[in-house]
Amino acid sequence: MGEVAKELVVKISHLQQKGELGPLADLVSSLAEHSFTPDELITSGLSKLVGKLRKHEDARVKGAAAEWVSHCAALCVVKPAAKPSAAASPAHKVEASPPKPPTPVAPQSSSIPPNAPDADMRNTALRKLGEIFGKVVTDYATFKLSVDEVEGVDPLAIAGEIEACMREKLGSGVDSKYKNKLRSLLFNLKDEKNTELVTRVVCGSITAEKLVSMDPKEMASSDTKRWREQVAEYKKMELMDNLSYQRYAHRDRELPDGLFECPKCKSKKTQYSEKQTRSADEPTTKFCHCINCDYRWKFC
């Protein structure tokens, strides 16, 4: 089916250049009859080409392109093509067998055999990631995006890049690390209170490599990050004594001059306290502290 996808790209480009809008709309509408894997759509450029047709001036072409992109975003991939007959000649193209009853299936990568032990998990990852990004592309206004920002965005391509980066970073096998990372990505990308993350991924501000390397704290929303910083600040203050707290709380504020001058740095930013350390008829002892150089001294 990879060759079929490339032929369709050539035909669509030819009709678009010649300005034959009627045949172009009919050809785009018939794309749903074919079955392609995500790799075939990405490598052939078919999904990207049809995605750009959603901005076409002709309403029929525009509607057909939008319908096909929405269909792919919802199902991630159409029904798999039938395998060629063993008796067929190698030079002769074998037509696909009649399709089975429509049942949404997970996308299958052309580089993974269907009977591979990790094929089901990878297909599930591609399908769920594609659904998340497809929702952003379809309901771009809900995510406060413009048409230009989602123009030409291929949800399948984004999902494929992320899944490939996960396997490259975590290893070739689908193990517990792979599943935990996938679970973390899906949770944060689907978070309705953190739409900033998924929109930045769709717009390209966060690449697939960067997304996979981010930990849950980095993927949190701006409000959650500010809240965590405040909690850490409060915990830091709880461990301080009264004097240290006063100094830390007023670190950004200009302190008034004290009564005494520091004999070491000659600063007036000093504090003092008094205690009766001798008999009652003797004067009190002054304990002084310099805020500037942390020098301490006493006198009577």
Query: Is 279 a domain residue?
Result: yes
| Residue 174, domain extent | 116-221
pLDDT tens digits, 126-172: 888 988 998 888 888 888 888 888 888 888 889 888 988 888 888 76
Nearest to 162 by CA among 146, 136, 139, 185: 185
| Structural domain ending residue among the three candidates 201, 221, 241 | 221
Query: Is 98 a domain residue?
Result: no
CATH code of the domain in which 291 resides: 2.20.25.10
- Domain match, 183 and 280 both: no
- Domain match, 207 and 130 both: yes
Query: Is 93 a domain residue?
Result: no
Q: Which of 34-43, 79-88, 269-278 has the highest mean pLDDT?
A: 269-278
Helices (H) and strands (E) in the chain, counts: 14, 3
Separation between Cα atoms, residue 236 and residue 170, nearest integer Å: 35
Any idea what DSSP says for residue 274? E
**DSSP letters for 136-199:** HHHTTTTTT--HHHHTT--HHHHHHHHHHHHHHHH-SS--HHHHHHHHHHHHHHS-TT-HHHHH
- Domain match, 120 and 217 both: yes
Separation between Cα atoms, residue 156 and residue 183, nearest integer Å: 18
Is 77 within 8 Å of 52 (Cβ atoms)?
no
57 pLDDT exceeds 50?
yes
Q: Which of 19-28, 190-199, 243-252 has the highest mean pLDDT?
A: 190-199
Query: Is 210 a domain residue?
Result: yes
pLDDT tens digits, 82-100: 444 444 444 444 444 443 3
| Structural domain ending residue among the three candidates 81, 96, 129 | 81
> Domain tally for the chain?
3
Query: Is 97 a domain residue?
Result: no
CATH code of the domain in which 2 resides: 1.20.930
- Domain match, 194 and 261 both: no
Query: Is 73 a domain residue?
Result: yes
